[in-house]
Chains A and B, each alone.
Chain A
Amino acid sequence: MKYVDEFRDPAAARRCAEAIARIATRPWTIMEICGGQTHAIVRHGIDRMLPDGIALLHGPGCPVCVTPAGIIDAAIAIASRPEVTFCSFGDMLRVPGEGGSLLAAKARGADVRMVYSPLDALAIARAYPGRKIVFFAIGFETTAPTTAMAVLQAEREGLRNFSLLVSHVLVPPAIEALLGAPDNGVQGFLAAGHVCTVMGYWEYEPIARRYGIPIVVTGFEPLDLLQGLYLCIRQLEEGRAEVENQYSRSVQRDGNRTAQEVLTRVFAVQPQRWRGLGEIPASGLGLAPAYAGYDALLRFADVAVPPERHGECISGEILRGVKKPADCPAFGTRCTPEHPLGATMVSSEGACAAYYRYRRPRSTALAATGGTL
Chain B
Amino acid sequence: MCLAVPGQLLSIDDGDALTRLGRVSFAGVVKQASLAYVPEAEPGDYVLVHAGFAITVLDEVEALRTLAYLAEFEPEDLP
A-side contacts of B38, CB under 8 Å: 256, 258
B74 and A34 contacting across the interface, CB-CB below 8 Å: no
Q: Is residue B29 contacting chain A, with contact meaning CB distance below 8 A?
A: no
Q: Does B14 contact A (CB under 8 A)?
A: no
Q: Which one of B34, B52, B58 contacts A3 once the chains associate, using CB atoms below 8 Å?
A: B58
Contacts A22-B78, A347-B1, A349-B1 given: A194-B52 contact, CB under 8 Å? no
Q: Given A18-B78, A153-B19, does the pair A198, B70 have CB atoms closer than 8 Å?
A: no
Contact residue among B60, B69, B79 (Cβ-Cβ distance under 8 Å from A1): B60
Contact A194 B51 (CB under 8 A): no
A-B pairs, top 5 by smallest CB distance, nearest first, are A117-B52, A3-B6, A249-B63, A15-B73, A248-B62
Most-contacted residue by chain B among A35, A119, A249 (CB, 10 A)? A249
Whether B23 is near chain A, meaning CB under 8 Å from some CB there, is no
Known: A34-B2, A249-B63, A262-B37. 19 other contacts (CB 8 A): A1-B46, A19-B77, A22-B79, A63-B1, A116-B52, A117-B51, A120-B52, A143-B50, A146-B34, A149-B53, A156-B18, A192-B2, A194-B4, A194-B50, A197-B48, A223-B67, A256-B55, A256-B56, A258-B38
On whether the beta carbons of B60 and A227 are closer than 8 Å, the reply is: no
Report the minimum CB–CB distance from A11 to chain B (whole Å): 9
- Knowing A1-B60, A248-B65 touch, does A91 contact B34 (C-beta < 8 A)? no
Give residues of chain B (5-55) contacting chain A, Cβ–Cβ below 8 Å.
Answer: 6, 18-19, 27, 34, 36-39, 46, 48, 50-53, 55
Question: With A and B bound together, what is the CA distance between A91 and B3 in angstroms?
Answer: 12
A140: Cβ under 8 A from any B Cβ? yes
Interface size on A (CB < 8 Å)?
A: 56
How distant is the Cα of A6 from the Cα of B66 in the complex, in angstroms?
10
Please tell me if the beta carbons of B2 and A139 are within 8 angstroms of each other in the complex: yes
Most buried by A among B2, B51, B53: B2
Report chain B residues within 8 Å CB of A156: 18
Specify which chain B residues have a CB less than 8 angstroms from the CB of A251 in the assembled complex. 56
Q: How far is the CA of A101 from the CA of B19 in the complex (A)?
A: 34
Q: Let me know if A246 is at the binding interface, CB within 8 A.
A: yes
Assuming the A-B contacts A116-B52, A117-B53, A142-B50, are A258 and B39 also in contact, with contact meaning beta carbons closer than 8 angstroms in the complex?
yes
Given A153-B19, A197-B56, A249-B58 in contact, is the A142-B2 Cβ separation under 8 Å? yes
Closest residue to A219 on the B side, CB-wise? B66
Contact partner of A18 (CB less than 8 A), chosen from B53, B58, B75, is B75
Q: Which residues of B does A touch, CB under 8 Å?
A: 1-4, 6, 18-19, 27, 34, 36-39, 46, 48, 50-53, 55-56, 58-60, 62-67, 69-71, 73-75, 77-79
**Interchain CB contact under 8 A, B78 and A227:** no
B43 to chain A, nearest CB (A): 16
Chain A's closest residue to B3 (CB) is A36
Given contacts A35-B1, A197-B48, contact A259 B64 (CB under 8 A): no
Which chain B positions have C-beta within 8 A of A119? 34, 52-53
- Output the least CB separation between A218 and chain B (Å): 11
A265 to chain B, nearest CB (A): 12
Q: Decide: A249 and B59 in contact? CB cutoff 8 A.
A: yes
| Assembled-state Cα–Cα distance A120/B65 (Å) | 37
Contact of A140 among B1, B39, B60, B77 (CB under 8 A): B1
Task: For B37, list chain A residues within 8 Å (CB).
Answer: 145, 149, 256, 258-259, 262
